[in-house]
Each structure stands twice: as C-alpha cells, then as structure tokens.
Structure 1
Amino acid sequence: MSTDESESETVARDLPRDIIIDILSRLPVRSLLRFKCVCKPWYALFKNPNFITKHFNQTNSHTTNTYFLYTSRRSTTDNGDRSISLLSSSETFDIPIDLDIPFLSISKPFRISGSCNGLVCLSIVPLASIILLWNPATRVFKHLPPSPIARPQSLPIKVVLGFGFDPNTNDYKVLRVVYYCYPLSQVELYSLSTNSWKEIKTDMRFLIFESSGSVIFKGRFHWTAVGFQELNGREVIVSFDMDDEVFRYIMLPTFRFSDDDGDRFRWHLVVFKECLGVVVCSKNGHNKKFDIWVMNEYGVTGSWAKYVSFGPYPRINRMLRCGINGEVLLEKDHGELILYDPATETIKDLGSNGVVCWSDVFIHVESLLPIKGGRVVEMSNLCAVVPDLHFVRKFDLVLE
C-alpha cells in the first residue's frame, strides 16, 4: 500500500462520525448503493430511518437532483424489455423494471401512474388490473391488494389513478376512479399505512381525460376533465383533496392566440414556478405557439394571468411537462425531446427517443425511502402478484 493510500485511510478513520454522515447524506443515491458493501456500519447506516430522511431532505433541496420520469419508445422495442427513463438537461439513463410477473406478457406494458418522494406507482395498461408501488433505486416493490368494494355487474370502461403523499396523515395514497357506462362510476382510496382500500361516496360529475396525468399540488390531485350537469360539457381542472376527500373544480382562463387560430388549441396542466398553471398550445399547422398561464392565488379563477408566450416552433408534436425551474419539456414529430427555458428563451436538444403515447411524464427525485410492507425483487416470489380480476378482460389472460 502506498503512503498516500495509508494516509487517506487514517484520515477517514479519524473523521468524526457526524462529519462522515453529513458527507454521505450529500451523495447521490446510486453512489450510496455502491458504498453499502464497504463496511457493516455503512450498510446499517443506509437503512437507518433518520439517515434516510436526512439524505432525502438534502437531495430534495437541490433542483439539480430532479429528473423527468417516463417510458421511452426505445424501452418497448428493444427485445421487449420493460424500463423507465430518467432524463435531465445533462444526462439520460434507463432503469430496468425487473419485475417478471408470470401473469404479464409483453403486450401488457406498465404505465407510470405517479412519482412521489422517489417512489413510483406502476399500473398495467389498460385498466390497472395490477398496481405496484416501486422504488427504482432500492428495487423494493409492493403489490397493492385487490379492493373488497362491491362492484356493479357492468364491466369497467376506464380507470384513472393518482398517487401522492398526504402530509396531514404522513401516508402515501392511491386514488382510483373507475368509469362504467355513464353516469355510473366508483371512487376509492388506498392507504399504504393500513394497506387497505375504502370507497369514497361522491357524485362524480367529471370525465377525466385519458391523456391527463395527475398533478400533485397543495395536497391535492389535479387532472384535466370535462364537467357534466351544471358545467354542461365545459373543460375544467378537477381536483381531489386527500385531506377532506372531496372533488372540486377550477375554471380555466380564456385562451385565444389570434383570430386565425380561433378555438383550435389544446392545454396541459402543470405546476409552474410553485403555482398551478396550464400550457396552451395552438393546433394551427406545423408551427405551434405556446402560452403559459399561472394561477397566482390558488383556487381563485380571477387570478389567472398569462406568464409568457413562446414560439412559433416547427415540428413540435406535444408539450409533456414543466420542470422544477420552469423549463418546458417538448416532443418533436419524430420523438426527439427538447427543453425550452422561458427565462433565457433558449432551446436545448436532448436527443432522446421520445415518450410512448400511453406514458405520462412526472418529476422524480431518487431516494432511499422505504415502502411499508415492500419486498426486494430478487428475494420475492412474483407468482404471488395476481391481478384484481374485476379489471381483467378475457384477452388479458396469459395461457400457460
């Protein structure tokens, strides 16, 4: 051993424990997972709840540690491998979903239904017959149990999911909205702390759009939807409060680009610079224009204000998500991803392979946070992961 190496080991041994913990708490999750085999004290430290919380708070305080989370087009074509992609302005990498569940076949992909504090909610396309909570970093997963709630005889037509953290109860929750033939629907809420479902009795007078990924803001799920009854088919933002378990709606601002565009536009719900917002895209031709609107006072319709306009840009297919710092992720016609920064009015080509049509894009922060009742993939019998049969169609079954 060289003199320099010997001196380095001596310094490491002589460092106070508090300083070592502080240094380790600032490292990326992927580094800690490599270091857990260095020694038994470090292995135990990385499982300590206090250290896990300290590390997450450090990671979450820096916006450079956030990623766009999605399913790329590449992951559905390369040998049928399932994976999710993490994308930032400086790097892109794929994480395999090594959950080889016997029930599944390649024709039934996972859909990302939410990301919160490093935990990801996965569901099976199209009706979420299997729902999983999964930490991609630690490879711990949990299969949500089937709901005991009584079902109508008619089959479900559509299922909408939302996944988030309720700070009032310190609990992770999954909201499921099940649509049958109108006006029949069911709403139920899963609690990770109790590992159980309960039905939410409500008059569900909103049809949430198929392409509407949930947006978590102020302890509420938000989606784009069309309203019935007194709303008379108007498009609105619908929210569900995890605290009082009530649905509400927010009216949109009045969109208009120009007389030539008329009412031909589409809008995407976002969180923009710590405000609820919408990004509006004109549908007119190949050169799309964009407006970003923000609600300066949450829940007050009169506080909507246009923040910025940009474009027109050629060959833009759709808007996907806003980042923590307000950057806008866009997809071109052939799947290339670009990042627009409203502050500098610059565009960066990310050179990625695009997002599959049934995948939503979420903001993700890696963490060591555990999943109550979760299991490590390699140590689990995945034959025990079975679907909720109410959401299984005949052609979903895999014949052995």
Structure 2
Amino acid sequence: MADVAPFDVVEQILVRLDVKDLIRYKSICKPWRSLISSPRFVKAHLNHSYNNDRNNRQLGHRRIDVWIDVPVSYSSCRKKLDFVGSCNGLVCVSPLNVEFFVTNPLTLETNKLPKPPYMISKVVCWGFGYDPSADDYKVVAGFDSKKLTRFYALALKSNTWKVIGEVKSKSLKDSKGVLCGGALHWLAKNNVIISLDLSTEEFKEIPLPINEECEDDRAYNKLGVIEECLFLYSHYYRLPTKKWVMKNNKWELYNDDHCETKYNVVHSLTFVVDLNKKTSDVIIYDDSRLVSCNQRNYTCASHVFVQSLVSPHPHVDVNSNNYDGQKRNVKV
C-alpha cells in the first residue's frame, strides 16, 4: 500500500495551486473540501498569490479590464460596464445606474448589493476596498449634496449603507477610487487628491507633486498603483510625460526602465445586462492576455487583480458575532 502524504504536506501543496484547480479538487474528498473552504486556507492562498506575483521577475502586475462590452449576441442590450474597484481577487462593478455587484471572477460567486438610500442626487465617485481592522470589504459611493459630496459606505458583513462623512465639493476629476495602502484616492481640482482611510473612515487631502504639468488644469493626470505605491501619470501638451510614485509620504519621479522586459497580465470580466427586465447576470469572459508593462492604459487606468478564493458572501456567526467562514452561493 502506497504511503499517504501527511495532511500538512498536502496543504502546503494545495496552497500553491491555481484557483480553478482548487475548485475541482474540492470534490475529491470531504477533508480536502473542508480545508480548501476554510478561512485560514483562503487567507494563506491569497498571501501566496500576492507573494508569487510580487516575486515573479517577468510579471509586472495582474490587471482587471476597466471597460468591457457585453457579447455581440446580446447586442439589443449592449451597455458599457462601470468599474468600481478590485481587491484581493474580488471585483466590484455597477452595470445599471447605482446597482452594485461584488464578484470573484474565478470562483463565479456573485453578490448583488442593496441600492444606496437617498439616490436623488448624482453619484460623483465610488470605490471598493478592504478594511483590515474589521476583516471586511467596503463599497463607497459619493453623492452630490448641494456644495458637498456626501459619502455612503456598505460593509459586506452588515450589507447596509451608512453615511461616513461629507467633503466640500472640489469637482472630482475621476469617479473611480484607486485603492492603495488601505485607502481610496480620487483626483480633484485645486491640485489635491482626496483620500479615504477605509478603517478609520477619515478623509484627508494629498497635494499633487510641485510641477507645472500636474498643477495646470489642462494637464492630463491619472492615478494608479505601481509596485504597491500610489502612482500618478501626468501629461501636458507638448511636454514629456512624467510619472510619480508616493513613497514614505513623498512624491518621487518614477523610473520605469526596469519594466521594459515585464508584462502585465490583463483579465477581462463581462456582465450581461437585460435592460427590459432590469436584471444582470455575470459571464466570465476568459480573455487573459499579456500587454507591455509601460502601456499607459493598463499602467494607469486598470486596477490590480490577484487570484484568490475570497468569497463576496461573508457571514457572521450569530452566536459569537465573529466572522467564521464564507458562504458559497455560486451563481453560474
């Protein structure tokens, strides 16, 4: 009889596998299913995925496509998809007005969130990210309220919206919040970035680099994330493009010469929207492809993505009031 590998050795092997393989291996036996579904394993696999990508010398980043059309077969309801954010393998999108979905494209799990209250005013910004202090994920939406932008947040565990603060309207230039260092960031006029800490729910302003390109209203500025740092792409008519990164709370010019041989992996996500029935279904369009690390569209505009088993359906144990696992409501 062949020797059976110790269970801890099996775990160390499984944690190194791709998500699609792990989903298949859950059907091998109950112990494997229990292990792969456990919160401890999900976090260990997530950490391994981040470290594996970080240490890959050929890989720049994994990115998720920002603008995706529905398939041609659904031409009667063709619509652009509003991308809200990406974090730890979860992707948040808004296919219909202020309708939010959080999905894991690899496990095919999707969570349709309740609509925010008081949607009379216009949505001016939004974002999605992880709150490490609560081990929870948050969707943030900012609405026009006279001369203020009123921010609402929904935590996946509570599944309810609440007001988290108001900011004086500064004519936000970009509606999509960029997640970096546990905070969401939006470009605004007056040469500042509005930052929201997802744990403390406190706002602050970050000045742009002291440079005529960044400070001119005619300049094209775009936020992103490069090597886990906040990234600013600044372009001004007839002047050379400049790239900045925030390190130790200071802006530095970014030298991307070392990225010339690297490539970003781009993953695509598609929603099908039936405008007549006002319903949305998730379709995973597996169109992963490589693009140059220096290609502007994916360096600046696309959010970082990582392979993970994280579920968009967290639930709370009513007896202990602690997060104890992940509900597996799979929608195919």
TM-score, normalised with respect to structure 1? 0.62
Q: Which runs of 5+ in 2 are unaligned?
A: 267-288, 316-326
Identify which of 295, 300, 308 aligns with 2:246: 295
Does the CA-based 8 Å contact 2:124-2:172 persist in structure 1? no
Greater length-normalized contact order (CA 8 Å, ≥ 6 residues apart): 2
Q: Secondary structure in 1 aligned to 2:40? A: helix
- 1:217 is matched with which residue: 180, 188, 209? 180
The equivalent residue for 1:339 is 292
Distance 2:293 2:153 in 1: 36
Aligned equivalents of 1:139 and 1:255: distance in 2?
A: 45
Task: Give distance in 1, aligned partners of 2:153 and 2:201.
Answer: 9
Measure, in 1, the Cα distance between the counterparts of 2:30 and 2:264: 43
Normalised TM-score (structure 2): 0.74
Q: Is the 8 A contact 1:188 1:199 kept in 2?
A: yes
3-state SS in 2 of match to 1:124: strand
- Which amino acid letter does the alignment assign opposite residue 31 of structure 2? P
1:64-86, Cα deviation, whole Å (9 max, x unpaired): 4852101455x4453238xxxxx
Shift, 1:264, TM fit: 5.3
Deviation at 1:201, TM superposition (A): 3.6
State the AA in 2 paired with 1:367. Answer: S
**Counterparts of 1:338 and 1:214 in 2: how far apart (Å)?**
23
What is residue 64 of structure 2 aligned with on the other side? 69
Distance 1:45 1:271 in 2: 33
| Matching residue's letter, 1:174 | V
Q: What SS does the corresponding residue of 1:37 show, helix, strand or coil? A: coil
User: Which of residues 233, 239, 255 in structure 2 aligns to 1:279?
Assistant: 233
Which of 156, 162, 176 is matched with 1:192 structurally?
A: 156
- Residue from 184, 188, 206 that aligns with 1:250: 206
**What is the alpha-carbon distance in structure 1 between the residues aligned to residue 252 and residue 301 of structure 2?**
26
- 2: CA distance, partners of 1:51 / 1:329: 25
Name which one, 1 or 2, has greater alpha-carbon Rg: 1
Measured against aligned partners, the alpha-carbon deviations of 1:30-57 in whole angstroms (never above 9, x if no partner) come to 2212322333332232212222222122
Partner residue of 1:207 out of 145, 160, 171: 171
Give the 3 Å change call, closer, same or farther, for CA 237–360 of structure 1 in structure 2. Answer: same
Change (3 A) 1:42 1:363: same
Closer, same or farther: CA 247–207 of 1 in aligned 2, 3 Å: farther
**Alpha-carbon distance in structure 1 between the residues aligned to 2:265 and 2:4:** 47
Match of 1:317 in 2: none
* Aligned equivalents of 1:362, 1:255: Cα separation in 2: 26
- Aligned equivalent of 2:144, options 157, 175, 179: 179
Residue from 280, 295, 314 that aligns with 1:372? 314
Paired residues, number: 287
- Give the C-alpha shift of residue 263 in structure 1: 7.7
Separation in 2, partners of 1:221, 1:326: 27
How do residues 131-210 of structure 1 correspond to structure 2 at under 5 angstroms? Answer: 131-147=100-116, 149=117, 151=118, 155-179=120-144, 182-210=146-174
Identity of aligned residues (%): 29
Secondary structure of the structure 2 residue equivalent to 1:308: coil
In the other structure, the counterpart of 1:80 is 74
Corresponding residue for residue 122 of structure 1? 93
